Structure 1
Amino acid sequence: MDVTDRTVVSRGRSLGDRAAAQLRGDRDRVAAAQRLRPYRDGSGLDRLATLAAHLLGTSGSQVSLLGATQLVAAGTGAAAVGSTGPLEESLCTITATLPPGEALVVSDAAADERVNTLPPVRTGVVGAYLGTVLADAAGRPIGALCVFDPEPRPWAPSEIALLQQLAASVVTELELSTLVRQYEDDRVRWELATEAGEVGTFDWDLTTGQLIWDEQLITMFGYDADDFDQTIDAFNARLHPDDEAAVSEALQHAIDTCGDFDATYRVVRPDGETRWVHARGRALPDHQDSAVRLLGAAFDITGAREAATLVTRTLEAMPAGFYSLDREWRFTHVNAEAERLLQATRDELLGRVLWEAFPDALNSVFEASYREAVATGQPIAFDAYYPAPLDGWYELRAWPSPDGLSVYFLEVTERRRVQEQAERAAQRLAILASISADLAGGLDQHGAMAHLPELIVPALADFCIVTLVDPDGRPRDVGSWHRDPGKQALLERYTRVRLDAMPADSPAAVSLRTGRQNRCPGSVVIDMLAPGEARDLAAELAPREAIVLPMRGRNRTLGLLTVYFDAESPILAENVATAQEAADRAGMALDNGRLYSAQQQLAEGLQRSLLTDPPEPDHAEIAVRYLPAAEAARVGGDWYDAFMQPGGATMLVIGDVVGHDTEAAAAMGQLRGLLRGVATYSDAGPAEVLRGLDASMTTLQIPTLATAAVARFEQTAEEYRSGVTRMRWANAGHLPPLVIEPDGTVADLTEWTGDLLLGVDPGVRRRETVLPLRRGCTVLLYTDGLVERRDSDLDAGILRLREALMELSDLPLQELLDELLERLVQGRPEDDVALVAVRLHPQDGPRPAEAGPVRIPPTVPPDPALDPGFEQPAR
């Protein structure tokens, strides 16, 4: 949706002023916004605002309520929570005047004439803005949910849809907060009514004799807090002498039976005034069924009879329903609020049996709970639904009395509706979060797609199938899940045969071509299938409706998410929208994976193109390996090289340019080419080659650092006859080579430290080391990615390498390198790995087959092994 195409800015009056005037003119809307202001703790709104900023990747978010002014109810970033401001200075005011279902989409606020005059844009707080309207149950706009960044940015359709889904959760949270405030007000009114009725409470500890009265009762008996000594004697001192025997008998009976106390008596106050008091209480037993406490309440009934007592007036004033039942379950009292909630008058209810007046209460939680309270003598609390004509949810508190049962209840239908809506919204967001975590958890996108149906079912649908489009354009079902475990095997069989049985105009085929959502009755899907196994299986699955949701990438449809609903399941619009969001996220993940794979292959191909095949001098077998890092861009600065110099010597090179990116790869290509040129033109030894490379880097102004080790293998005719080859090598800050002797031992060359890195000082003096090698030796040069680990030091890595080489020394050279990579990095190194190795086969026999054919440049003189009379000069 492109909001910019729908909004026209009038001349002479800013869009913000016009929007503010429009909102202020709607008094019902202003009242609705005021009513839905959050109650006390706004943590629920804060979490939703934070979630909006997190999911859309913005620096700020805001929940605004638009009454006569703007109130920032929640937010992150630059949003000043709790602040108010003029409507005409807010982008949210413009958002709230948009038609339902639209959003205010601003990619570049400074360039957008609708908003660029508003203070948040002029001050640089808002550079990009996305907002959607918050509407109450009547459809009136009460505010806006928005996200924003200080810098311009585009907004994707999926981001707009996600913000609109979050807006529904924000409205739900506001409605729930309003209900909490209403219930808190009701509770306060109940306390005030109790105080107005002047009901006092008492607690008599029969073990210690302490008698505790509340302030109401102390005042009722004419005491004050200082002269009431908290004993039964204080009670008896105020009791009228004519009532003392009856009250004492009632108290003793309650104590002896652990039963109820019920008495009406007179109190003689110090000023001589006599007051009538009615008291009720109950004796509480210990584990041996002996009374240890007597709890109760008392109220002054002077000057009135039972029908006009303060308790009755209190019950009538309560904002909650109240009724009492006798021991035969007949109504004995019904207050005004109970008449309204039960939809019946007192005249219709008093004297009637509860089960006859409300027959649906029989064999339900109402009957079970009421009978339990009467049987146990304990209060009970529960929530329950009563069907039509009441058709509502109720919160009930029932407590037994000597006369029967008293019930206090509230209708909580709206609260239940809001809570269930909030739970469903939270469940949908949790599903999307799980899907995002699955898709971001690894590079195996097809595995994540196969698991996707298990996240969709049963929360959003009864069963589900995921289809992916192969690189050749053919659709293929890769995953499915059914809420009924008994039908899972049936569904899996259906996914194996259904695509071949579908016609070209099937809903799935149409969605793949058009990239649009497609809904179809289940019977139509079955009839479309060609007669055979697929149709029979579909008929057995028996979906009521199928909805095909495309998995859209950037410019094409990459797959389908098809959700199915059984006959008894409702199809909720919010569930379908959530499933489509899941499909969109899966499509983008697939597209990102495709782009990553293409980039990965291109980068690796470029890297390998810079690393050429080694030569094949006689009786010297050379093997190379390059393995890019598993978590990098798959290009870097590691390189190997092997070539022959004009004088006939073979030279091996290993190097590592500092860095792990395309710049390092480019620098590596330059250094490798320079080193080759210096070595092949000058026919110089390793130290001179490194010195020449360092000088060339300075002259050509190549701003990089690198390590390198160069080994040259030389042999005179005499050395040839004695079966010895000399290795002359120089090291510019690189790891030393490892030599495997013919008997499998590995020479320790770690004490041969390297010289300064390349690119630091071109005038540094380079050193050479000469090592005579018997024919049959193997020499390995490697980069640090083979031995370095985040959890161990370099020395431990080199030790692991030496141990592996000793165990693998009898393998052919190519197999040795492959097994080495598998053992040390499991084929997925943390850093790039380059290897070059040479095995000096004995020269007293034919060239081994595993060394390959002789392949040397035409300018290189023959090897002594080919012409024993040839005398190669020593180097």
Structure 2
Amino acid sequence: MRDQRAPAALDVDFRRVFDTSPTAYLVLDRDLVVVEVNAAYVALVGRDREELVGRPLFEAFPPDPAAVDEQGRHPLQVALERVRDTGRSQVVPLAKYDVDVPGGGRAERFWSLTLVALPGRDGGPGLVLERVEDVTAYVAERRARGRDTGGEAPLPEHVEALEADLYVRLQELVAAQEARDVAARRVAGLGEVALRLTSAESVQDLERIVLAQGPQVLGAAGGALFTRDEAGGWRVSAAALGEHVQDRYQHLPFDSPLAGPWVARTGRRLLLPTRASGVAFHPSMAAAYADTQRDAWAILPLTVREECVGALAVSWVEERTFDADELELLDSLAAQCAQALDRLMALRAEREAAAVAARTSETLQRSLLSAPPQPAGLEVAVRYVPAARATQVGGDWYDAFVQRSGETVVVIGDVVGHDIEAAAAMGQLRAMLRGIAVTTPASPAELVRAVDRAIDTLELPTVATGLVARVERVPGEPDGDDRVVRWSNAGHLPPLVAHPDGSVTQLAGERTNLLLGINPEAERDEWTADLAAGSVLFLYTDGLVERRGESVPLGIEALRARLAASAGAPLEEVCDDVLDAMLPPHPEDDVAVVAIRVHRAGDPALADRAPASPAAEERTGAPRDAGDPGAAGPGADRRTLRVPAVPQSAHTSRHWVVGVAREHGAGDPTLALAKLLTSEVVTNAVKYGLVRELVAVTVTCAAGSITVSVQDDNPDAPVVKHARREDTGGRGMELVERFAEAWGTDVSAAGKGVWFRLRLDRPTVHDPGTGPGPVSPP
């Protein structure tokens, strides 16, 4: 394979070229002040450089008063200003401009001038370059021969040669100036392409930038980009050549004989300056020429680290010959495209790997964060909210269980890190602490110390914060309602207690203990505080109170205020209210929360409370009744969650449904409605469904929609009530009717299932109008 590398750029000292040129040059700024002169110019005019640089030209060389116009401007000044303002070069073949001579007086002089505009960085007027040649001798000789012959005489050969040489040099200068302008525009254009490529976030962005701007910079008539597709062939982007071309060639097999795939396979540049050359390359190219109506093609490999990742094709309407400068620009464009494509492919791979790791981490976390127990006299509520960014899912965790002594233990912690390793370490710590706690009567400080030593003994590379709290009965009051909380804190944020009188205090010890995983022999302190009946103990991780640019103490104060405002509500609502108020729409960190309320005997919230059992999820792809809108056909994802028939199951169910919907790409409007409607339907099932033990919540995602069905034991169909403004309830099925795309009821002897359906890509949460109502008979 021929080496296609561009030759190394020449190291040219242009200042030296200017200074040593035998031709006199003068550079003026836009005010016609002398910026620079070279040695040849200084010698020509007999002045020192220091006398000229920094002075206005017509101050350094005053014009003949008889030669200026009414505005005091010499014709040479007018010509210079015209070149400066229009940007167009001008040749002054013969200009009379007398100069001062030493000792006084003026000498008649004639000059041949070339005036060239040099644009500024912004493209506007900039400098003026003046090439100067003294032709006084030429004029004098012509005058002398005219006097001798009584008229105009034929020019001497050397004068004719001088004129011819001046003309040729002028033409060369004009051509060089035009070539320089074209090259400058192309280089600037490629720079703009390179700059825009740095902002590309997808292969589609890259295609739009390269194919819209690249050919234009090169004076071409469109192009195409060839990249690998998921099937192993070539994905072709050629919309700039017409929709019919894009439709016909958008996917090509890997071994296609066409020029683009061949270059992408071989990594070799291919130039097809004529149709004949393309058909000679392969006969199938004839159809491509007919479809594109482009007669000249340059196809460049996109090579990164000696690996070809695709090809870039640039086309022209007419046949052409490619010169070295043009090929260098083509290679440069291809190199920029290849680097950007390689970056985007790596970025896509990183995102896919991060998404997989995040899903694994979250699944691991959720599998370990089980439903809490509900001990006598206490109510426990838990929450876990993953970070919005997949890469930030980490090691926040909670636990709640009852020791053999009958005392309730709650744990909260945060493993350092935001990846699957952090989630795995969280699982290990949780398992160790739970295993020690349920088999021994260890106190919170003893549990923290035992886990810290286990980390050291097992050589686990883990550092974590952790807080273990045990809610105990008041000594000597085995039947009393009040409780005592005993806790040990390993570098975690202090818990809060909302007291019955409305105040909220921090549980902070006299000193701070080390995090877990640093020193197995570190001292572990233990503290106690009273929990009067009606109090709420609130544990949380830093994601709830930590914000970029804000201090954690301010976050804790905000949490304290929010907890004080909502502590009188049911515990599940307290947790929801705090999370809704404290968390942004897209949390940057995951959050875990544990809340415990100490109830008074006879509290209505404890009446008829069913024993809590962990929610169980089942998955199946088996089809159901063909008339069921939630039937799981081929490719459908159907899952069932069974939850206890208790009010807090509405929260568990709605967050589970939202999680499934999010997995299937549901937008924010759909997630918000799924959360709202699931909560209403599950609440109805718990209140009126005659459920003995468990409520079954089934989700089916298929054909761009999510269907949620809630099964209870009451065969009576729900009634849609239109609540009055002052009513505090009764709006559940009204909301379902109002917001669901479709809903209905499946009644059987065993009970009924109430279902609703939402589009995954629903654009807004606004009322879509009167819905279709139940599609199954009541």
Q: TM-score scaled to structure 1, two decimals?
A: 0.46
Pairing 1:505–2:223 present: no
Tell me the residue number matched to 1:624.
Answer: 384
The 2-side partners of 1:803 and 1:472 are apart by 56
Tell me the residue number matched to 1:681.
Answer: 439
**Are the counterparts in 2 of residues 456 and 579 from structure 1 also a CA contact under 8 Å?**
yes
Q: How does 1:388-787 map to 2 (within 5 A)?
A: 393=170, 412=173, 416=177, 419-420=180-181, 423=184, 426-427=187-188, 430-431=191-192, 433-435=194-196, 437-439=198-200, 444=202, 446-460=204-218, 461-473=220-232, 475-476=234-235, 491=242, 494-496=245-247, 498-499=249-250, 504-519=256-271, 542-552=293-303, 558-567=309-318, 572-597=326-351, 599-601=353-355, 603-604=357-358, 607-608=361-362, 611=365, 612-617=367-372, 619=374, 620-627=380-387, 638-647=395-404, 651-657=409-415, 671-697=429-455, 706-712=464-470, 728-738=486-496, 747-749=504-506, 755-758=512-515, 759-760=518-519, 762-770=521-529, 772=531, 779-782=538-541, 784-787=542-545
**Are the counterparts in 1 of residues 202 and 344 from structure 2 also a CA contact under 8 Å?**
no
Tell me the residue number matched to 1:33.
Answer: none
Cα deviation for residue 577 of structure 1 reads: 0.6
The 2-side partners of 1:746 and 1:515 are apart by 73
The letter for the 2-side match of 1:694 is: D
Q: How does 1:289-368 map to 2 (within 5 A)?
A: 297=99, 319=133, 339-340=160-161, 342-343=163-164
Q: CA distance change for structure 1 residues 621 and 789 in 2, over 3 Å: closer, same or farther?
A: closer
What secondary structure is seen at the aligned counterpart in 2 of 1:736? Answer: coil
The 2-side partners of 1:623 and 1:175 are apart by 70
Tell me the residue number matched to 1:845.
Answer: 608
The letter for the 2-side match of 1:682 is: T
Q: CA distance change for structure 1 residues 747 and 344 in 2, over 3 Å: closer, same or farther?
A: closer
Cα deviation for residue 597 of structure 1 reads: 3.0
The letter for the 2-side match of 1:624 is: Y
The letter for the 2-side match of 1:343 is: A
Tell me the residue number matched to 1:794.
Answer: 552
The 1-side partners of 2:350 and 2:283 are apart by 41
The 1-side partners of 2:68 and 2:185 are apart by 52
Tell me the residue number matched to 1:178.
Answer: 17
Q: TM-score scaled to structure 2, two decimals?
A: 0.51
**Are the counterparts in 2 of residues 738 and 747 from structure 1 also a CA contact under 8 Å?**
yes
What secondary structure is seen at the aligned counterpart in 2 of 1:412? Answer: helix
The 1-side partners of 2:570 and 2:307 are apart by 50
Structure 1 residues 728-787: Cα deviation after superposition (integer angstroms, max 9, x where no partner): 5432221123568999x89443766763123357352422344648689684521x2443
What secondary structure is seen at the aligned counterpart in 2 of 1:656? Answer: strand
Structure 1 residues 244-295: Cα deviation after superposition (integer angstroms, max 9, x where no partner): xxxxxx99x999999999xxxxxxxxxxxxxxxxxxxxxxxxxxxxxxxxx9
**Are the counterparts in 2 of residues 645 and 683 from structure 1 also a CA contact under 8 Å?**
no
What secondary structure is seen at the aligned counterpart in 1 of 2:606? Answer: coil
Q: CA distance change for structure 1 residues 808 and 542 in 2, over 3 Å: closer, same or farther?
A: farther
The letter for the 2-side match of 1:627 is: A
**Are the counterparts in 1 of residues 407 and 472 from structure 2 also a CA contact under 8 Å?**
yes
**Are the counterparts in 2 of residues 553 and 591 from structure 1 also a CA contact under 8 Å?**
no
Q: CA distance change for structure 1 residues 313 and 733 in 2, over 3 Å: closer, same or farther?
A: closer
Tell me the residue number matched to 1:4.
Answer: none
**Are the counterparts in 2 of residues 462 and 564 from structure 1 also a CA contact under 8 Å?**
yes
The 1-side partners of 2:68 and 2:184 are apart by 49
Tell me the residue number matched to 2:592.
Answer: 835
Runs (5+) with no aligned partner, structure 1: 2-100, 103-156, 202-211, 217-249, 262-294, 302-308, 346-389, 395-410, 483-489, 857-865, 867-875
Runs (5+) with no aligned partner, structure 2: 27-38, 53-57, 75-96, 114-131, 144-150, 375-379, 600-604, 617-641, 645-691, 693-778
Cα deviation for residue 497 of structure 1 reads: 5.0
**Are the counterparts in 1 of residues 226 and 261 from structure 2 also a CA contact under 8 Å?**
no
**Are the counterparts in 1 of residues 214 and 333 from structure 2 also a CA contact under 8 Å?**
yes
The percent of aligned pairs where both chains have the same amino acid is: 24
Cα deviation for residue 725 of structure 1 reads: 7.6
Tell me the residue number matched to 2:622.
Answer: none
The letter for the 1-side match of 2:447 is: V
Q: CA distance change for structure 1 residues 514 and 260 in 2, over 3 Å: closer, same or farther?
A: closer
Tell me the residue number matched to 1:13.
Answer: none
The letter for the 1-side match of 2:330 is: V
Cα deviation for residue 459 of structure 1 reads: 1.1
Structure 1 residues 148-178: Cα deviation after superposition (integer angstroms, max 9, x where no partner): xxxxxxxxx9xxx5xx46x33x45x446852
What secondary structure is seen at the aligned counterpart in 2 of 1:458? Answer: helix
What secondary structure is seen at the aligned counterpart in 2 of 1:438? Answer: coil
Structure number with bigger Rg? 1
Tell me the residue number matched to 2:753.
Answer: none
1:192 to 38, 43, 60: 43
Q: CA distance change for structure 1 residues 529 and 499 in 2, over 3 Å: closer, same or farther?
A: farther
Cα deviation for residue 794 of structure 1 reads: 1.3
Structure 1 residues 278-336: Cα deviation after superposition (integer angstroms, max 9, x where no partner): xxxxxxxxxxxxxxxxx9646699xxxxxxx98679999x856678799xxx9999899
- Superposed CA RMSD in Å reads 6.1
The letter for the 2-side match of 1:640 is: W
The 2-side partners of 1:522 and 1:822 are apart by 68
Cα deviation for residue 791 of structure 1 reads: 1.9
The 2-side partners of 1:726 and 1:493 are apart by 78
Cα deviation for residue 462 of structure 1 reads: 3.2
**Are the counterparts in 1 of residues 562 and 581 from structure 2 also a CA contact under 8 Å?**
no
**Are the counterparts in 2 of residues 736 and 754 from structure 1 also a CA contact under 8 Å?**
no
**Are the counterparts in 1 of residues 211 and 223 from structure 2 also a CA contact under 8 Å?**
yes
Cα deviation for residue 581 of structure 1 reads: 0.6
Q: How many residues align?
A: 522
The 1-side partners of 2:191 and 2:431 are apart by 55
The 1-side partners of 2:363 and 2:343 are apart by 30
Q: CA distance change for structure 1 residues 462 and 805 in 2, over 3 Å: closer, same or farther?
A: farther
Q: CA distance change for structure 1 residues 763 and 478 in 2, over 3 Å: closer, same or farther?
A: same
Q: CA distance change for structure 1 residues 693 and 813 in 2, over 3 Å: closer, same or farther?
A: same
Q: CA distance change for structure 1 residues 313 and 772 in 2, over 3 Å: closer, same or farther?
A: closer
Structure 1 residues 329-364: Cα deviation after superposition (integer angstroms, max 9, x where no partner): x9999899974464289xxxxxxxxxxxxxxxxxxx
Cα deviation for residue 590 of structure 1 reads: 3.0
**Are the counterparts in 2 of residues 450 and 466 from structure 1 also a CA contact under 8 Å?**
no
The 2-side partners of 1:566 and 1:777 are apart by 78
What secondary structure is seen at the aligned counterpart in 1 of 2:198? Answer: helix
The 2-side partners of 1:851 and 1:692 are apart by 28
Tell me the residue number matched to 1:14.
Answer: none
